[in-house]
Amino acid sequence: MWKLWDAYGGGHLYVPRAASLNRDHPLAHALGLKDALTFCDIYGGQTLTDIPLASAAKRKLRNLAIVADRAHMSPMALGRKYHLTERAVYLILAAEQADDDPNYDLFA
């Protein structure tokens, strides 16, 4: 699904029947020929509308990867790797740490 969201997110997609799919089709480029054939076997002939961008899910996974990489990378290196400013990295690290905080605010 991630590959599909990256290639077609925010739009629609007409899925060809598997028999008419070839390796030059954009769907084959996005998913790989084998996965595209499987996808066409299931959804062939249909138009999938309103394919989500999945921005929030992608952002959450990126943030979790930043937290995991922090064990062996500096914030500056993380910024370069994920195309963010160093300040953005610090904000992400702080926000993810706050999400994992088991202590609840008694006055919230």
Whole-angstrom distance, CA of residue 85 vs CA of residue 87: 5
Residue 97 confidence class, pLDDT cut points 50, 70, 90: confident
Per-residue pLDDT band for 74 (boundaries 50, 70, 90) equals: very high
Percent of the chain with pLDDT over 90: 81
Which residue has 């020929």 as its token pair? 33
Closest C-alpha among 25, 49, 45 to residue 35: 25
Q: 108 pLDDT exceeds 60?
A: no
Domain map (residue ranges) of the chain: 2-48, 55-99
- 0.85 exceeded by the pTM? no
List the one residue out of 96, 103, 34, 91 whose CA is nearest residue 61. 96
